[in-house]
Structure 1
Amino acid sequence: MKRPRRPRKAAKEQFVEAEAWDEEVEEPQETSADDPDETGWKTSTAKLAGLSRLARIGVWTLVASGPVLSMMAFVSTSGPAQGATKPVPAATPASSVGPAGFAELYVAAYLQAGQGTERDLAPYYSGSVALGVKPGTRTASQSTVIASRQVQPGYWSVTVAADVTAHDDNGKSKRLGVQYFRVGVQAAGPAADAEQGAAAAYAATSLPSQVTAPAALTPGGLAYETDRGSSSADPSVETARGFLAAYLTGTTELDRYTSPGTRLQPISPAPYAAVKVTGVQDDSPKAGQQKVPADGTVLHQLVQVEAADQGGSPVLLSYALTLKSRAGRWEVATVDDAPAIRAGGTPSAVPQATAPPGAPTTAHSPSPSNS
């Protein structure tokens, strides 16, 4: 037996009534402002609506300000923490260039000064000075600083080597040789404790002190133990001769004597008109070897030459060369910075002859450079 169907219209009306009932249930009931709620607080529909709006405004304000708050938090955390120790920059070593140059100028002025020209020392030394020698009795033709030591912050001990010449009343000159003077120099200003180039002021603490020459040395043994002489029959000697002639006179191209890829240029303008090899030493173990060994073999040479300048005057020179073998011949690979020292070779001191009292102290070391 079939159940009778409910009309669609009746069902629809019933659904609408149910929705209306729900809306009536959800609608808040008005409460009198004078009637307290269960918690004992007095509320009203208007107050609840205002609180709801304030809550919604607060939520949206937090959402909108989120990026700003995040950035502020990042900045505050990335900055240095309060109370943290800041890194201290490393101290820059004091430069000796300024005190050394000041001392060199001071010694030159001191040697030149004399009675009546003591004021020439005022830029260097402010003490009272009375010189008994005539001005210009001594001069320094050359000078250079050979030692500089900071004895305490801002205070330096500088030793100057000066090639001194004496001049008599008749206008004659006599070279006294290289003499050594030690100067105490105080520095004040940025360059006294900082990098080179900063401005500073300097002052000598006394007149110069003449001191003894530094100890002379005999160099340790060189690595060239085989003497080739100056024989043109040796292929390595012939290569050295041709290369140095081209290097010093510019009469031929260096490429004829150098290894591929070697970048060497002759001296320009050419200082000499002719070159003569007077001796060659190398580190080859075979003294009588004449044949060029296998490709890639390395040979170190020390070559002595006599070069004639444009006026014909002979000049003695030494060159340390490195040669390599290729295709049955020797080629120059490099002009070495200095002669090679034998492994374990150390210099030894040379005893100095005792000079009579009052005699000038002369140098046993290379002459100083021009001031």
Structure 2
Amino acid sequence: MKRSRRKAQPEQQDWPEDAVADTGEKADTDQGDTGAEQSTGWKTSTAGLAGVTRLARAGTWVLIASGPLIGVMALLGSSAPAQSAAKAAPAVKAGASTGAAGFAQLFVGAYLESGEGTEKNLAPYYSGSVSLTHPTGTRSALRTQAMDAREVSPGYWSVTIAVNVAAKSKKGGYTDAGVQYFRVAVQSTGADGSSAYTAVSLPAQVAAPAALKPGDLGYPTSRGTGSSDPASDTAASFLKAYVAGQGELDRYTSPGVRLSPVVPTPYTSIKLTSVQDNSEDDAGTKVPGDGVRRRLLVSVDATDADGNTFPLTYALGLTARAGRWEVSSLDDAPATAAASTPSNAPHSPAPSAPAASSTPGSSAAPSGS
């Protein structure tokens, strides 16, 4: 009976660790018990149960202690923006006017070179009915240049194309027919970053865009050939090194200025023909103190290895240092006078070469717009 009460005692304890301690005592006193008692597995199951319960109890305390931290994390998680799969950046779509202008250039080129029997060459650009009666090759597009592209309405463009046209003579040769202008109406439709184009009609030949008179430049003082001007001498020496391979550029540039000569060297000699600057009339005879700047517009005659001479103009920035002028910049464009703007010159002749696309009038609307 005594042994039975000792066995039952752990079962009446409130906490499993007491049972574990009691079990340890019985392990010392009951090793001689019969195999029937050992076969019940009571001691082993009680120890295992005690360990599991102990871990659960420890886990409960951990959860209680970490409760505030979990709450804060949950609050932060609910206030943070929801994470989603990374989205690919949208493709940058090229300017629609570029596509419409390029399409119009191709269309005008095909139109000029087509003739009777080759109307199908226009099908990729224009789906309307076309009947040509002149022989194929009567005209040819030597060069085409988009001069203007305007969106009349969404996806609908009016494009003006300048074409250097060659016309076939009765003797079979070609003559230069000058620069002619054609206006094309183009519709576009795009999806997923791609566009398709079509012409709504055949090209219309139109007058040239109005020419402009450029505004005043920011070089009010003329130095002639600048023979007595130290700044002009520096500019001449710099250009000889730059385009004629005569000397090193570093000898004529300010510290820190990095310029590379034209390679391969296109000319064998350079001759100044005109120098203009933004300084006072008496500033050309001496070099001022360090840091003083001047802007020069230098015109030269450049002669190549075959003896051909070509006029060129350069805009340069000069800075004084240690009693001499040094080139501190090769400017992208000549400086303009303050508040100077181009003006209309309606009676000026139209450009005679495709290079007119780079003139100030290249963005002007064709006359009759």
Q: TM-score, normalised by structure 2?
A: 0.72
2:321 maps to 1:326: yes
Question: Which residue of 2 is the match for residue 14 of structure 1?
Answer: none
Q: Is the 8 A contact 1:213 1:364 kept in 2?
A: no
Q: Is the 8 A contact 1:227 1:287 kept in 2?
A: no
Question: Which residue of 1 is the match for residue 356 of structure 2?
Answer: 367
The amino acid that maps onto 1:96 is S
1:272 alignment partner, SS class: coil
Question: Which residue of 2 is the match for residue 99 of structure 1?
Answer: 100
Partners of 2:262 and 2:95 in 1: CA distance: 38
The amino acid that maps onto 1:204 is A
Identity %: 49
Question: Which residue of 1 is the match for residue 145 of structure 2?
Answer: 144
Q: Does the C-alpha gap of structure 1 residues 70 and 364 become closer, same or farther in structure 2, counting only changes over 3 Å?
A: same
Q: Is the 8 A contact 1:213 1:363 kept in 2?
A: no
Structure 2: runs of 5 or more not aligned: 1-55, 83-89, 359-369
Partners of 1:362 and 1:250 in 2: CA distance: 34
1:174 alignment partner, SS class: strand
2:218 maps to 1:223: yes
Question: Which residue of 2 is the match for residue 259 of structure 1?
Answer: 254
What displacement does 1:252 show? 1.0
Q: Is the 8 A contact 1:162 1:368 kept in 2?
A: no
Question: Which residue of 1 is the match for residue 168 of structure 2?
Answer: 167
1:310 alignment partner, SS class: coil
Q: Does the C-alpha gap of structure 1 residues 119 and 328 become closer, same or farther in structure 2, counting only changes over 3 Å?
A: same
2:242 maps to 1:241: no
Structure 1: runs of 5 or more not aligned: 1-55, 81-88, 192-197, 355-360
> Which protein has the larger Cα radius of gyration, Structure 1 or Structure 2?
1
Partners of 1:229 and 1:94 in 2: CA distance: 45
- 1:175-324 matches, cutoff 5 A: 175-190=176-191, 198-287=193-282, 289-324=284-319
Partners of 2:241 and 2:279 in 1: CA distance: 25
* Alpha-carbon displacement from aligned partner over 1:170-221 (angstroms, at most 9, x marks no partner): 2222212111111111112227xxxxxx332211111011111111111111
| Most deviating of 145-154 and 62-71 | 62-71
Q: Is the 8 A contact 2:300 2:313 kept in 1?
A: yes
Partners of 2:342 and 2:351 in 1: CA distance: 21
What displacement does 1:368 show? 4.3
The amino acid that maps onto 2:143 is Q
Q: Is the 8 A contact 2:275 2:298 kept in 1?
A: yes
| Most deviating of 302-311 and 173-182 | 173-182
1:367 alignment partner, SS class: helix
1:189 alignment partner, SS class: strand
Q: Does the C-alpha gap of structure 1 residues 351 and 287 become closer, same or farther in structure 2, counting only changes over 3 Å?
A: farther
Q: Does the C-alpha gap of structure 1 residues 287 and 211 become closer, same or farther in structure 2, counting only changes over 3 Å?
A: farther
* Alpha-carbon displacement from aligned partner over 1:53-88 (angstroms, at most 9, x marks no partner): xxx99x9598599687876665555457xxxxxxxx
Partners of 1:326 and 1:353 in 2: CA distance: 45
- 1:29-108 matches, cutoff 5 A: 63=64, 75-78=77-80, 95-108=96-109
Q: Is the 8 A contact 1:306 1:316 kept in 2?
A: yes
Partners of 1:275 and 1:156 in 2: CA distance: 47
Partners of 1:226 and 1:100 in 2: CA distance: 42
1:243 alignment partner, SS class: helix
2:186 alignment partner, SS class: strand
Q: Does the C-alpha gap of structure 1 residues 345 and 353 become closer, same or farther in structure 2, counting only changes over 3 Å?
A: closer
Partners of 1:215 and 1:301 in 2: CA distance: 30
| Most deviating of 279-288 and 132-141 | 279-288
2:118 maps to 1:117: yes
| RMSD (Å) for aligned C-alpha atoms | 3.0
Partners of 1:362 and 1:264 in 2: CA distance: 34
The amino acid that maps onto 1:301 is L
Alignment size in residue pairs: 294
* Partner residue of 1:342 out of 333, 337, 356: 337
Partners of 1:322 and 1:65 in 2: CA distance: 71
The amino acid that maps onto 2:356 is S
Q: TM-score, normalised by structure 1?
A: 0.71
| Most deviating of 221-230 and 71-80 | 71-80
Q: Is the 8 A contact 2:211 2:348 kept in 1?
A: no
What displacement does 1:351 show? 2.2
1:316 alignment partner, SS class: strand
Q: Does the C-alpha gap of structure 1 residues 94 and 153 become closer, same or farther in structure 2, counting only changes over 3 Å?
A: farther
